[in-house]
């Protein structure tokens, strides 16, 4: 990808998630069944997009509610269908972001 080209939003979000978790690309890839650090780098550069199952995993790993919902929606989950019982309001600690 040319340096002046904007990375896709999903690539930026993957990188932001990994960094928020304090993980190397290799360690992050291990969370997805042994995906290599090179593969994670390709995600982050927008070269290859993660599979749907990996977006779901990223949503499960996300620390903030907004991030979780974004990754789940990217996986095709209709987040409007999540009930309050399944996905309660965020705690004060988590914030309403």
| Locus of tokens 């190397």 | 24
Q: What is the pLDDT of residue 17?
A: 98
Q: Where are the domains of the chain?
A: 9-81
CA distance 96 to 78: 20
Q: What is the pLDDT along the chain (97 residues), one digit of tens a residue?
A: 455 579 999 999 999 999 999 999 999 999 999 999 999 999 999 999 999 999 999 999 999 999 999 999 999 998 888 755 555 566 656 555 5
Q: What is the CA radius of gyration of the chain?
A: 14
Q: What is the pLDDT of residues 44-58, one digit of tens each?
A: 999 999 999 999 999
Mean pLDDT of the chain: 87
Asked if 28 and 18 touch (Cβ cutoff 8 Å), the reply is yes
CATH superfamily of 9-81: lambda repressor-like DNA-binding domains (1.10.260.40)
DSSP state of 6: P
For the entire predicted model, the pTM comes to 0.79
């Amino acid at each position: 990808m040319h340096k002046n080209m904007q990375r896709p939003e999903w690539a930026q979000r993957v990188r932001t998630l990994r960094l928020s978790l304090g993980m190397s690309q290799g360690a992050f890839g291990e969370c997805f069944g042994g995906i290599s650090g090179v593969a994670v780098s390709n995600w982050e550069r927008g070269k290859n997009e993660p599979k749907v199952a990996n977006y779901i995993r990223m949503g499960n790993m996300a620390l903030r509610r907004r991030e979780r919902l974004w990754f789940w929606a990217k996986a095709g989950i209709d987040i409007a269908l999540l009930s309050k019982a399944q996905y309660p309001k965020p705690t004060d600690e988590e914030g309403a972001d």
